[in-house]
Amino acid sequence: MFTHGSQLDGGAAGNALVWRNGQTGKGIKTCIRYAQEAYNAECAALADALESAARRNTTPQRVTIVTDAQAAIKRISSDEPDPGQHHVLQA
């Protein structure tokens, strides 16, 4: 799975998740809302990736999530009250 989160100039933030399904690709994209930072979108993308893997019809032997958001990876590993906590709890 590949994740990405970003913020537009107008203030809207969103994230995308793409994965391989056999020989084709699948994906989802989500607008998380206005007045959110790209950081929140990256955290949401990681949470969506974990949720998507958990909802599969068959249990995968392994899931690899690729992201360039090191701060989001660090944040998702702690449930301390801080920005992005909603996505941490979702994950």
What was the pLDDT predicted at 42? 85
In this predicted structure, the answer to whether residue 90 has a pLDDT above a threshold of 80 is no
Q: Examine the pLDDT at 65 and tell me if it is beyond 70.
A: yes
Could you report the per-residue pLDDT of 23-62, keeping only the tens digit for each? 888 888 887 766 677 878 888 888 888 888 888 777 777 8
The residue written with tokens 């994740």 in the block is 3
How much is the pLDDT for 35?
66
E strand residue ranges, the chain: 2-7, 12-21, 24-34
